[in-house]
Amino acid sequence: MTDLTADAVSTDLEALQLHLRSILASVPDGMIVINEKGQILAFSSAAEKLFGYKAEDVIGQDVSQLMGGHDQSNHQNYIGAYLKTGKRHIIGVGRVVSAKRSDGTMFPVDLKIGEARVGDSFLFTAFVRDLSEQRRNELRMQEMQAELVHFSRMSAVGTMASALAHELNQPLTAVANYLEAGRDLLDSDSEDAHEILHEALDEASRQAVRAGEIVRKLRGYVSRGEIDARSVPLTPLLTDSIALARISGDLADIPIDKQIVSDIGAVMADPIQVQQVIINLLRNAAEALHGVAAPQIFLGASRGPDDFITVEVCDNGPGMSEEVRQTLFKPFMTSKSQGMGLGLSICQTIVEAHGGKIEAIPSADGGTCFRFTLRRDAAS
Ligand code: ADP
């Protein structure tokens, strides 16, 4: 009788083991069973493919070898903390983490963990789904969107630049003509030469003022009440701006230290225009960093003053002279041979049209900090 029961039990056990083996062979996600010490007890066929290990090579090994960075060194503490406090951080919840293949390469996975109590101890079963393909697609989508935004912005800038060139051509040609005529009059003995010269210079100065007005109108055009201000979460806006600037190659490999207050919330803004400001500042910073030994850009965002949020773009470049600082936001002020000197002027127009302010201050390490404010969405 006793033997019969033992037989039944062993048959059950065998059946269970067979069942487990068939699960391990067919479960589509990587499945890894570990004990409380983090030792691997079972490793499914899909996990073998994902990680590039054979089950027999990893069974009995520490599971942390399948993880990267922080998780690798802390995994045993996670289990310890869970067993002690019963507080679930990942069990039953799922999380996206980095996993490590046998060749050391990392890949993103969706990790879900289930637990089972066996007598006094626990077994944990991890289900691992490879997200590499999904991430690649997401990234490609983002890149395509970024290219699209960049393209439409470039064509808008192109249209504006040719309109500007066309409009400015006329008064500037007039200025040149009046001045040339004036120069010729200087050598003339004619009686009324002095009077005509007077008129020519008057006219030249009127045309120069007109050219200035065209530029002012252009600045108005950039922000002509067309601000479609809405609540925009700031962190993704800043991150997208960096991505856009990187895609255009303007930032080279300069590292960007991003310090955005975690509860920064949202701003009331036209996202495309604000992106234009940030990209401009990043590009200027990168240009100022040409030839600097350890170039570094800092992008920060914090709350305040009052109902505003302050965004800062700093660099550890050579800084700027007082003279440049004075004229920084004036159109056509540039120290670059290829520069248009319109970037900061447009930045100022956009920021002010949003109700904010922009200024340049020296940074602690001798470079430059551009700081601007945007209205915070009080509801965020
Ligand atoms: P552009 O970049 O076409 O010259 P901007 O209006 O963007 O036009 O910039 C005007 C000038 O301000 C630049 O030519 C440069 O001299 C100065 N400048 C802007 N940003 C920086 C910076 N981060 N560091 C030093 N100088 C800067």
Q: What is the pLDDT of residues 26-37, one digit of tens each?
A: 888 899 999 988
Among candidate residues 353, 343, 344, the one with its CA nearest the CA of residue 226: 353
Among candidate residues 199, 184, 284, 267, the one with its CA nearest the CA of residue 232: 267
CATH T-level fold of 2-130: Beta-Lactamase (3.30.450)
> 343-353 vs 271-288: helix axis angle to the nearest 10?
150
pLDDT score recorded for residue 314: 97
Determine whether the shortest distance from the Cβ of 328 to ligand 1 is under 6 A.
yes
Residues 115-147: pLDDT tens digits?
888 888 889 999 999 988 888 888 777 777 777
Dist. CA 165 → ligand 1 center (Å): 21
Between residues 178 and 249, the one the model is more confident about: 178
Dist. CA 226 → ligand 1 center (Å): 26
DSSP-assigned beta bridge partners for residue 62: 39
Out of 289, 332, 334, 361, give the residue to mutate to test ligand 1, the one with the largest number of ligand atoms within 8 Å of its CB: 334
Whether the predicted pLDDT of 336 surpasses 90: no
Read off the pLDDT of each residue in 33-59 and give the average, rounded to a whole number.
94
Which CATH architecture group holds 230-375?
Answer: 2-Layer Sandwich (3.30)
Residues 88-116: pLDDT tens digits?
766 766 788 889 999 999 888 898 988 88
Q: Tell me the C-alpha distance between 328 and 310, whole Å.
A: 20
Percentage of residues in the chain with pLDDT exceeding 90? 36
pTM of the model: 0.52
pLDDT band at 1 (very low <50, low <70, confident <90, very high): very low
Q: Tell me the C-alpha distance between 41 and 352, whole Å.
A: 63
pLDDT band at 250 (very low <50, low <70, confident <90, very high): confident
| The token pair that represents 85 in the structure block | 């406090």
| The token pair that represents 36 in the structure block | 């409380």
> Is the C-alpha dihedral spanning 189, 191, 192, 194 positive or negative?
positive
Q: Locate the ligand 1 atom nearest the alpha carbon of residue 344 and give its number.
A: 6
Between residues 59 and 207, the one the model is more confident about: 59
Q: Which residues contact 330 (CB under 8 A, 6 or more apart)?
A: 341, 345
Query: What value does the mean pLDDT of the chain take?
Result: 84
Considering only the top CATH level, what class is 135-224? mainly alpha
Q: What angle do CA 237, 241, 244 make, to 5 degrees?
A: 135
2 near 9, Cβ under 8 Å? no
pLDDT band at 338 (very low <50, low <70, confident <90, very high): low
Read off the pLDDT of each residue in 199-207 and give the average, rounded to a whole number.
89
Please tell me the residue having the least CA distance from ligand 1 atom 21. Answer: 284
Q: Locate the ligand 1 atom nearest the alpha carbon of residue 346 and give its number.
A: 6
Percentage of residues in the chain with pLDDT exceeding 70? 86
Dist. CA 336 → ligand 1 center (Å): 8
Dist. CA 184 → ligand 1 center (Å): 38
Between residues 220 and 296, the one the model is more confident about: 296
Whether the predicted pLDDT of 169 surpasses 90: no
Please tell me the residue having the least CA distance from ligand 1 atom 14. Answer: 334
pLDDT band at 167 (very low <50, low <70, confident <90, very high): confident
Read off the pLDDT of each residue in 41-56 and give the average, rounded to a whole number.
95
- Report CA-CA distances (Å) from 91 to 86, 87, 114, 252: 10, 9, 6, 41
Determine whether the shortest distance from the Cβ of 333 to ligand 1 is under 6 A.
yes
- Report CA-CA distances (Å) from 79 to 68, 70, 84, 285, 367: 16, 14, 9, 45, 47
Domain borders along the chain are: 2-130, 135-224, 230-375
Determine whether the shortest distance from the Cβ of 341 to ligand 1 is under 6 A.
yes
Dist. CA 84 → ligand 1 center (Å): 57
Dist. CA 239 → ligand 1 center (Å): 22
- Report CA-CA distances (Å) from 363 to 1, 73, 176, 326, 337: 87, 37, 42, 17, 25
264 near 327, Cβ under 8 Å? no
